[in-house]
Structure 1
Amino acid sequence: MVSIKDIAKKAGVSISTVSYALNGSSKVTDETCARILAIAKELDYTPNAAARTLKKRQTKIIGVFLTDFSGPFYGLLLQGIKEGLDRQGYEVIVCSGEQSHRFLPERMIDGAIVLDAAFSDKELLQHADRGHKIVVLDRELVHPNINQVLLDNKAGATLAAEHALDLGYRKLYVVTGPQASYDANKRLQAVKQVMDRVPDAEYTEIEGNFSKSSGEKAAERILQEYREPSAVLCLNDEMAIGVYNTVMQSEYRIGEHIHIIGFDNIELSAYMTPRLATIDYSKHKWGALAAEQLLKIISGEAVENERIYVTLVPGESIQLNERP
């Protein structure tokens, strides 16, 4: 592998002169710089990124840590992050799995955006103690080097549950999310609080994992137990679509027998007939704001924790319950 020592030897100059030329320094003349760059090109020289990082203490790369990449949710989030970083000359790498956690302590990245249950709170706090800059999207942590950009899960799940109650339903099925998911747990907690405030309301939890297949499995149970029009609150849209598809293949009809409301307002939900009722928020804004907050922390600016707000999107998938 060609080094700057090889370039210096061929150019007949010092190693420091080559370094100045390769970094565009004004300490060398234009003529000398052009000659050194030409030799570097001739020798097919590739800069040593690791050495440059150690010298500058900066990579201009941000790591985004996700639990997984499946489903339509992550695309808009990542696009928002990428656009926010692009404006400041940063690049992004998307990571999953425990082996990638070493990118922070080994300083292969300048900071991290975390939506990954595989990271423990203890681990993130240890990284923050060592000076690493982090934005979390999936937990509440208090540390000068950690900023929170959280989705207002409580408001969203409250809107969904209250919408079902306002339409006359007093018994709900709730298809839950992964046990390790901060968002799923906050949503379920909010639903329970709403139901507890209504004396004649009750709910049945069905375990899900945010996948369409878990929604399909939940629907099979709901159909087996069907006695009267039932409302189903799914804690994300993918599970809601799984329930929806299974019901569509049965003798029952969406919006007449089985009434469904989801959470996330993914693009597909807008094209379903009847339209899926759901909770909406800007995934693109969530990503862009996370990128903005992280870059502020890296540059030493003071930041406040942020929250992404939600709205209810009504749909014909859940209609008025004409109770006797």
Structure 2
Amino acid sequence: MVSIKDIAKQARVSISTVSYALNGSPKVTDETTARILAIAKELNYVPNAAARSLKTRETKIIGVFLTDFSGAFYGDLLQGTKEILTQKGYDLIVCSGKQSHRMLPERMIDGAIILDETFGNEQLLSYADRGHKLVVLDRELSHSNINQVLLDNKAGAMLAAEYLIEQGHRKLYVVTGPNGSYDSKQRLQAVTQVVERTAGAQLIVIEGDFNKAAGERAAERIMADSNSGLVSSAVFCFNDEMAIGMFNYLSEHHPNVKIGEQIHIIGFDNMELASYTQPRLSTIDYSKRKWGALAAEQLIKLISGDTVEHERIYVTLIKGCSVGSEK
């Protein structure tokens, strides 16, 4: 790789003169600058971004860390993030996996948005202690260099559970997310509170994994519980993808079971596909694009040294035909 030392040698000037010329400094004459730039082009010189960031202490790159890229959830979130970062002159890099975590301590990025359960809380706090700026979407952490932009999981889960109970259901199945998921834990806590304060209500928890396969397995379990498959059951899937997996399983294996009559299903996320299910899936809605945009805005404020307050993304209930009055 060509270095500024190589350019200096060919131009017969000092390394500092080359550095000044490459950075457009008035300390170097126009004639010398033009000659150095011509030599740099001839040698196919590419600036070393890592070295430059050590000097300027900025890369103009923001990292978004995700547990994985599966499912249809992340597109709007990342689009909202990208739009704000582009406006502010930053580029976006999306990362997954523990090896990518080193981008923070090695200062390859100026800050990070975290939606990745593989980061430990102590790990993130240690980064914040060293001055790294972070916005977390999946946990609660108290530190001056960390801002929280959290989804109002508890309000959404309460809306879903209360809606099912209003329809006359007293036996509620819930299909959770992965064990380490902050969102899943918050939703389960909220549903448990609703059931505990409802006379005669019963809660049955089925462990899921936020994917269609988990919804299919849950549907199989629920139909096995019902023997004939023709009893009225209420199911709250902690995301739409599992709810759609449940739709798929019932359509293939129990075509005579009518969703919205024999089984009542509600999801969470209002992903685009949910609007095309038959019947239309009831779900909890919020703006994923706004969530990503707000996370980016908060991170830029942190990097700029501005005061920030924690933010929350609010939710609403969309009533579809997948939930109906219990007969």
* TM-score > 0.5 by shorter chain: yes
Match in the other structure for 1:316? 321
User: Unmatched 5+ residue regions in structure 1?
Assistant: none
- 3-state SS of 2:295 partner: helix
Does the 8 A contact of 1:248 with 1:254 survive in 2? no
Q: Kindly state the Cα deviation for residue 177 of structure 1 after the two structures are TM-superposed.
A: 1.1
Question: Which aligned pairs between 1:1-324 and structure 2 lie closer than 5 A?
Answer: 1-226=1-226, 228-249=231-252, 250=254, 251-322=256-327
CA deviation string 1:263-312 (max 9, x = no partner): 00011001111100000001111111111111111111110000000010
SS at match of 1:16: helix
Query: Scaled by the length of structure 1, what TM-score is found?
Result: 0.97
Q: Give the residue type in structure 2 aligned to 1:242.
A: G
Q: TM-score, normalised by structure 2?
A: 0.96
User: Partner letter of residue 243 of structure 2?
Assistant: A
1:95-130 CA-partner distances (Å, limit 9, x unpaired)? 111111111111111111111111111111111111
- Cα distance between partner residues in 2 of 1:73 and 1:252: 28
Structure 1 CA distance for aligned equivalents of residues 26 and 274 of structure 2: 57
Q: Distance in 1 between matches of 2:215 and 2:297?
A: 35
Larger CA deviation: 13-22 vs 29-38: 29-38
Q: CA deviation at 1:89?
A: 1.3
Distance 1:287 1:81 in 2: 4
Q: String of CA shifts for 1:183-224, please: whole Å, max 9, x gaps.
A: 000001000111111112112111111111010000001112
Deviation of 1:152 after TM superposition, in Å, equals 0.2
Supply the distance in 2 between the matched residues of 1:48 and 1:197 (Cα, whole angstroms). 62
Q: What RMSD over aligned residues (CA atoms) do the two structures have, in Å?
A: 1.2
**What runs of 5+ residues in structure 2 fail to find an aligned partner?**
none
Alpha-carbon deviation of 1:8?
2.0
User: CA offset at residue 258 of structure 1?
Assistant: 1.1
Show CA shifts across 1:65-93 (max 9, x none): 11111000011111111111111111121
Residues of 2 paired with 1:15 and 1:302: CA distance? Answer: 41
Total equivalences in the alignment: 322
SS at structure 2 position matched to 1:113? strand
Quote how far apart the aligned CAs of 1:41 are: 0.7
For 1:194 and 1:35, locate their aligned partners in 2 and report how far apart those are by CA, in whole Å.
Answer: 74
